[in-house]
Chains A and B, each alone.
Chain A
Amino acid sequence: DAGVTQSPTHLIKTRGQHVTLRCSPISGHKSVSWYQQVLGQGPQFIFQYYEKEERGRGNFPDRFSARQFPNYSSELNVNALLLGDSALYLCASSHSGTGLGEQYFGPGTRLTVT
């Protein structure tokens, strides 16, 4: 079975631009969470979606938004990019939305903002 997939693998954007990152969860998983990982640090929680509804939001500005589609795939959108948005963006999927199940991470999208 395929694991969590993310696209694109790498992305280079300019300050002020907009970016959309995509995630497909493991088949059968209904929850998708997004994390930002800055180099040398642990992942930071951005959003969780379960059954197409937002279930949690981390301490990120409104420039960050996300949504989940009927097939449980998800998009993370970031507007007005800043240099500090450069990071590895990780998607994690889980069957459960309550935090009591294993979460599996994708390989991430490496975003570089110049």
Chain B
Amino acid sequence: GESVGLHLPTLSVQEGDNSIINCAYSNSASDYFIWYKQESGKGPQFIIDIRSNMDKRQGQRVTVLLNKTVKHLSLQIAATQPGDSAVYFCAENSRGGGNKLTFGTGTQLKVEL
């Protein structure tokens, strides 16, 4: 079935390094993608989104890249900080799907001091 998944379940990085979290999706009708950050005991927090007519979008310390050819999405976090430690989810929405988001299983990002 259609799914959104992540390549790496756990990513450990040193403070100050850049982090890259990857996500693969299988629904070719997907046209809107979102990255969420979820800290323990909290709801998912919106980080950044990108529409299918774009390849790259930048925010504050974060960049999302979309490769529609291989159905791949990535989140880059610059100068990773301890406060970035959390589980990161990519989510996908397809045209005509209303507000239904399909989430992957998540990547645990651990920032080491």
Q: Which A residues lie at the B interface, using CB under 8 A?
A: 4, 31, 33, 35, 40-45, 48, 50, 55-56, 58, 90, 92, 94, 96-100, 102-108
Contact = CB atoms under 8 A, between A and B. Distances in A.
Nearest to B5: A42
A33 B46 CA distance: 15
Given A98-B98, A100-B32, A103-B34, A42 B42 contact: no
Nearest to B48: A102
A105 B93 contact: no
A48 B103 contact: no
Given A41-B105, A42-B89, A105 B97 contact: no
Contacts, number: 76
B58 interface: no
B43 interface: yes
A94 B99 CA distance: 8
B82 interface: no
A49 B70 CA distance: 33
Contacts of B4: 42
27 contacts: A31-B99, A33-B99, A42-B89, A42-B91, A43-B44, A43-B103, A48-B98, A50-B99, A55-B98, A55-B99, A58-B100, A97-B98, A98-B98, A99-B32, A99-B95, A99-B97, A99-B99, A100-B32, A100-B93, A102-B49, A103-B34, A103-B101, A104-B46, A105-B36, A105-B44, A105-B46, A108-B42
B14 interface: no
Nearest to A9: B41
Nearest to B49: A102
A111 to B, nearest CB: 14
B49 A45 contact: no
A92 to B, nearest CB: 7
Nearest to B45: A105
B42 A56 contact: no
Given A99-B97, A100-B32, A105-B43, 15 more contacts: A4-B43, A31-B99, A35-B101, A42-B103, A43-B103, A45-B100, A45-B101, A48-B98, A58-B100, A90-B43, A97-B99, A99-B95, A102-B46, A107-B43, A108-B43
